[in-house]
Structure 1
Amino acid sequence: MAREVVKLTAGIAGLAVGLTACGGGGDGASADGPPRDGDTLRIVGSSDVEHLDTASVASVGGYGLVRTFARTLFATRASNDFAETVPVQADVAARLPSKENGDVSKDGRTYTIRLRDGVMWNASPPRPVTAQDFVRGFQRLCNPASPSAGKGYYISTIKGMDGFCRGFGAVDAKDAAAMAGYQRAHAIEGVRAKDDRTLVFRLKRPASDFLNLLSLPFTAAAPREYDAYVPDSPGLRRHTISDGPYQIAEYRPGVSYLLTRDPAWRQDTDPIRERHVERIQITLGQDSPETVQQQIEQGAADLAWDQPVPTSAIPRLRDDPRFAIRETPSNSPYLVFNLRSPNNGGALGDRAVRQALEYAIDRSALIKVVGGPSVAQPLHTVIPPGNSGYAAADPYPTPNESGDPGKCRQLLAKTGHGKLTLKFPYRTNSVHKLIAQSIAENLSACGVKTQLTADTGGSFYSDTIATPARAREGQWDIAAPGWTPDWYGNNGRSIIQPLFDGRSYGPNSTNYGGYDNPQVNALIDGALTAPDAARAAGYWHQADQLIMADAAIVPLLDRAHTIFRSSRVHGALFVPTAAGYDYTRLWLS
C-alpha cells in the first residue's frame, strides 16, 4: 500500500508526528447544517486497484474502497485529528475484548469476540454475517491464487496458521473448487467459530497489537459465495457481496466503479461508518494530476482517487478551505533494490554496491517535486517519525541533502561494478514520473545508467515488483514504491515485518527486493515476543539499523498527503491508512 509520518526511549508512548496537518477539510456536520442525504459522489483518478478481493487488498486506494462494502471485527475512525484515528474501535465485534471484561485470557493468548446483532450480507435473501464468515476470511489469507501481503502478521501470531498456510500453498491455484475444498477440510487451530456469533482466537504468544491486526481489511468477513471463485479473479470482482453501507453495482476493470446503497445495511449496526451520498462513481484512466485537479476545481468532479494535489497548485491553494495537508507518517517513496536480479553480474546483491548508491540521491530535489518542506521531510531510516522504533539517524549523509555523486563514484569503483545499467519501472500517476526522472539524473551523475519504463497499466505492484519470478529474471533492478503503515500507534511490525522479513518472500509479498537477513528475522521475532511495546520498539530500532547497514533500500521522504475537495463536499474526515477521506461519512450540498 502506498503511504507516507518517538523517540526510542519512549517506545510508542507519544506520537510526536513531524508533519503538521493544515488547511480545511471540514469536521462533522460543518457550518452548513446537518448532513444532507443523496446525490452522486464523483471521484476521478488514474489506476485500478491491484487487488479488489479483501483477502489480498494492499493499496491505500483499495483500503478506502473496501471500507465502503467490507467490514472487519474492529476498525479505526476517520478524523482530521490524527490522534483520533489511532485507537482501535469495535466494528462487527460487539465490544473491545480485555482481561477486565473476561474476553482476553489471563495469559493473553486467548481472545473471545462476540459479534454485533443485525450485521447482514446483501445476499438474496439477506442473511446475517456469522463467525464462520470471519473464519473463512482468515483461511482465504493464504490462498495460492492471490495470497495476502499481510499473511505474515497472522502466521507469526495465530496458532496453527503456519501449517494451514503451508498446506494451502500446495493446492491448484486455478481451481476454485479445490481451494474451497481445502478450506472446508482443514481448520486453523487458532481461529474457531464457537457458534454463529462467537469467535475464539488462540495465539502462539501474547501480542499487544492483536486488536490492530483484527482491524486490517484483509481480515474482513468473507461470504460463502466467494468459495465459487478463484480469489481476486475477474469472476469474484464482478460478484462482490457487501455487509457495509455501499455495494459495487457495476465494475468495469481499469475504467470505473459504481457503488450504490446496500439495502441490507442498517446504521444502528455500524458505529464506524455512515451513509449520506446515494451513489459513488469512480472514474479511472486519468493519469494527469493537473487534469484531475482542474476537474475538481471546476466542479466536474469531487475528489481525486489516487493522486495528491499537483505540486504546481499547492502555492495558490494554501489558504483555500477546500485544500488540506493531512498527516500520513510514511516512507513514501523509497528506493528498493532487487537483490535477486541477475543483471550487471548480480551487482545489486553486493552490499558495497548498494551502499555506494545510497550517496547518489538528492532528497532536496525530491522535496521540491512533491510540494516543498510543508509536505515532506528527508528520511534516512526505514521507520519514519511517529512510528514505533523510530530514532533519528543518517548513516549515509550528504551535503544539504543534495547527494554526493563523487563519493558514490568513488565507492562504486572499489566494488568492481563501476558500470551499471539499471532497469527502473515507475508509476505514471501523480508525480511518480518526476520522482523517477530525478532519481535517474542522480544515478547518472554517479555514472550509473537507467532504463526508465512507464507502468501505464496500474500493475506496478501486482505484476511487476511483487512477482518473484520477474525479480529473478531481472525484469527490474530498482523501483520507487511507497509504504504507509497498516496502522499507527503500537505499529512496529507494520513496517519492518511486511517489508523485510525474508521468510515471507513470495507472490504478493511486499518484501519487493527479496531481502533476507537472519539477524533481522531474529529481531522481528524478538519484537513480536517482547513483553511490552517499549521493549519491542528497541528491537524494531535495531532491525532498522541492520537494514540500513545492508542498504536494502534508500529511504527518501517522510511525506504527508495533500488533498482537495470540491465546493459541494462536506463532512470530509480523513483516514490516514487509506490516504483519503472516508466516503461513507461525507455528504454533498
Structure 2
Amino acid sequence: MRRSVSVGLVVVLLLAGCDGGGDGGTTSAPFDPATCQGGTLTVLNQGGITHLDPARLYTSGGGNIPSLLFRTLTTRNRLPGEAGTTPAPDLATDLGTPSDGARTWTYHLRDDIVFEDGTPITAADVKYGIERSFAPELPGGAPYLRDWLTGAAGYQGPYKQPEGLAAIETPDEKTIVFKLRKPEGDFPYLATATQFAPVPKAKDRGADYENHPVSSGPYRVESYAKKKSLVLVRNPHWSWQSDPLRYACPDRIEVTAGLDPAVINQRLVTGAGPDANAVTTDAVVGPEQLAQLGAGSALDGRVSRGEFPATYYLAFNPTKKPFDDPRVREALAYAINRTSVVNAQGGTAVSGASTTFLPPQPALGYQPYDYFPAGATGAPEQARKILAEAGHSGLTIELAHENDDANGIGPKVAAAVQEAFKQAGVTVDLVAIDSATYRDVTGKPATQPGLSLQYWGADWPSGGPFLIPVFDGRQIITAGGNFNLAQYDDPAVNAEIDAINALTDPSAAAARWGALDARIGKLALVIPLTHEKDVYLYGRNVRNAVPDGWRGQYDLARISVK
C-alpha cells in the first residue's frame, strides 16, 4: 500500500517516557491522560480530505484521524516503539477466539459502547458496517475481506443484496462470528481496519453517509468540507472508561487540508497563534527544517521520529530481456550505491539503506541478509565481472520512475541509480511516468517496464501484508492492479505462505516470514534500496507526540495541547 493519509487520505500505561515534552523525553511533569483535557488541536495536512465514510477509507489501525471518529473490533496498541506494533481490543473484549484452524474467528463486544446519540452498539451494527464496504457505490476500502470471507467474492453489498453475508454471523447482540475460506492468523490485525467500524443501518445514507458519519469514538463531526476541512468536537456519549487507549485530550480538533508541505513545516516551526497547537499527519519534515535539527537545536525538542514499515526498491520484470537472466539481476544488485539513494531521498534522517525486502523491524520478522554485497557505495567491478561472464557487457536498459519526487521514487532517486549503474558499464535511459498513472502502468503486465522504482508499505506490522502481494503467485493480476511485478509463482513459496497464515502466534509467524524473505532474496527479483524513516514536527504547545511502531507517527488520540 502506498503510504498516504486516507481521510485524505488510516488498561492505560502511564509511563514517564510518554512524557511532558513531545518526543518521549522525560520532563519534570510526566504526561497524565487523566488531566490532559482542553484546548483546540490544529491539524495541517497536504492530503485532501476526500472521504469520511469508514467503508471507503484504506487505513489499518484505524488510521490517525479516522480513529478519532470510528472504533473497530480491535485497534493498534497505541504505545511507543515496538510495543505499538501489536493489536489491542477496542469494541471487542479481546483479540478474538480462533477455531477450525484459524478459519473461524469469534468476537464478543463490550457492554459499555455506544454511538454519538447514546444508542448501544450491537454486533449487527458491526456486521452492517462491514457489508457496506462491499458495495460498488462505496469503493476504496481495503480488499482483504472479499478474499478472506467464505462466499464473499461476488457479494455486492447490502443495497443490492440485503440478505447480507452468510459468512458473518451474529447469534446475539454481543457476538459476531467470521467464517473464512482459509486460515488467517492475522485476522486481529485486519479487524483494526475502518471497515470494522459499526454503522447503524437506520442512519445509513449510502454515498452521502460520509457527510455526517455516526461516531463511535471520542469525537463527532461538527463540519466537513470535502478536500478542504474537517472540524471535530467531543462526543458527549463517549467515555474514557470504555475506551482507555484513546486519551481524547483536546476539546476540539480542526483539520485543514490541501496545504503545501513546505508551508506546513514553516508554520509548525514558527508556531504563531493556533499553530502553537498544531500537528500534521502527512507532511514529513522538509530539507530546510532538517538542516536546523541537531544537538542543542530548539527545534529538536519538537520532532517526532519513527519508522513506518516501508521499503523503496527496484522491481525487475523477468519476462523481459535482459532481466530474465538472473546474472543480470545479481550484477545490478552488486552495482547499486545505496548511499547516493539515501542522499537523494533527503539523507539519513529520513531514509536508511536496506539489503532486505522486509524493513528492519522485529514485528515483521526481519532477518538480516546481503547476498550481493554492494557495500555503502556499490561494487561496480564485481558487477562488471558478472555481466562480462554472462555476455552482457555494454548493456543498455530503461528505468521507469515517477515524474516528481513527492513519493521518494522520482527523478532524484532515478538519477542516483543511473549513475551507480554507469560505474558498472551499464547505460540507463530514464523513463518518467506521471505519478497519477504510475501504478496503472507498472501494475499491468502488458505495460509493465523491465525495471522500475517502487515503494511498498505494510497494511499492518506483519510480514504477511509485505510479502504476499509482492511474491505470492496467486496474487498476479493480469488485467491491472498487479503488485507481483516479478510475476513470480512458486508453488513451494505459495504453500509456505499458506502455512504461515495458519499461525495465530505472531512471534512464530514473524520468524517464518523473515525466513521466507531471506529465501526469496536469493533470487534477486528486486533490489532493496532503503527503508522509510519518519520525522514530523509539532507545535510548541503540543505534548505526548510519541510515535508508535505501527505507523511511525504520533497518535492524535493521545496528543495534548493544554
Same fold (TM over 0.5): yes
Please give the alpha-carbon distance, in whole angstroms, between the structure 2 residues aligned to 1:514 and 1:225.
47
Contact 1:112 1:200 in 2 (8 A): yes
- Does 2:126 align with 1:134? yes
The 3 A distance-change label for structure 1 pair 255 and 355 is: farther
Q: Aligned match of 2:113 in 119, 122, 135? A: 119
Aligned residue identity for 2:152: F
The 3 A distance-change label for structure 1 pair 308 and 524 is: same
Q: Indicate the SS of the match to 1:242.
A: coil
Shift in Å, 1:298: 0.3
Shift in Å, 1:296: 0.5
Please give the alpha-carbon distance, in whole angstroms, between the structure 1 residues aligned to 2:337 and 2:230.
39
Number of aligned residue pairs: give it.
Answer: 530
Please give the alpha-carbon distance, in whole angstroms, between the structure 2 residues aligned to 1:116 and 1:493.
29
Please give the alpha-carbon distance, in whole angstroms, between the structure 1 residues aligned to 2:73 and 2:430.
46
Q: Indicate the SS of the match to 1:294.
A: helix
**Residue equivalent to 2:93:** 94
**Residue equivalent to 2:548:** 575
The 3 A distance-change label for structure 1 pair 452 and 521 is: same
Q: Aligned match of 1:448 in 428, 452, 465? A: 428
Shift in Å, 1:152: 3.8
- Does 2:372 align with 1:396? yes
Contact 1:332 1:484 in 2 (8 A): no
**Residue equivalent to 1:368:** 343
The 3 A distance-change label for structure 1 pair 430 and 154 is: closer
Deviates more, 1:197-206 or 1:130-139: 197-206
Contact 1:422 1:449 in 2 (8 A): yes
Please give the alpha-carbon distance, in whole angstroms, between the structure 2 residues aligned to 1:583 and 1:405.
50
Shift in Å, 1:486: 0.7
Equivalent positions of 1:256-405 (< 5 A) are: 256-289=229-262, 291-300=263-272, 301=275, 302-314=278-290, 316-318=292-294, 319=296, 320=298, 322-324=301-303, 326-328=305-307, 330-337=309-316, 354-370=329-345, 372-373=347-348, 376-385=351-360, 386-402=362-378, 404=380
Aligned residue identity for 1:199: I
Contact 1:44 1:283 in 2 (8 A): yes
Shift in Å, 1:546: 4.8
Contact 2:64 2:281 in 1 (8 A): no
Q: Which of 1 and 2 has higher RCO (CA within 8 Å, sep 6+)? A: 1
The 3 A distance-change label for structure 1 pair 285 and 210 is: closer
Deviations 1:236-282 (A, max 9, x none): 54343321122344444444333333344333321221222233233
The 3 A distance-change label for structure 1 pair 331 and 111 is: closer
Please give the alpha-carbon distance, in whole angstroms, between the structure 2 residues aligned to 1:49 and 1:554.
34
**Residue equivalent to 1:486:** 460
Shift in Å, 1:568: 0.8
The 3 A distance-change label for structure 1 pair 576 and 530 is: closer
- Does 2:401 align with 1:424? yes
Deviates more, 1:49-58 or 1:253-262: 49-58
**Residue equivalent to 2:172:** 195
TM-score (norm 1): 0.75
Shift in Å, 1:525: 1.0
Alpha carbon RMSD of aligned pairs, Å? 4.1
**Residue equivalent to 1:13:** none
Please give the alpha-carbon distance, in whole angstroms, between the structure 1 residues aligned to 2:173 and 2:484.
39
Deviations 1:530-554 (A, max 9, x none): 5865664454245324543444432
- Does 2:168 align with 1:180? no
Shift in Å, 1:96: 4.7
Structure 2 spans left out of the alignment, 5+ residues: 5-20
Please give the alpha-carbon distance, in whole angstroms, between the structure 2 residues aligned to 1:418 and 1:221.
57
Deviations 1:157-180 (A, max 9, x none): xxxx14212x23xx5xxxxxxx42
Q: Indicate the SS of the match to 2:310.
A: coil
Structure 1 spans left out of the alignment, 5+ residues: 5-22, 98-102, 172-178
**Residue equivalent to 2:489:** 517
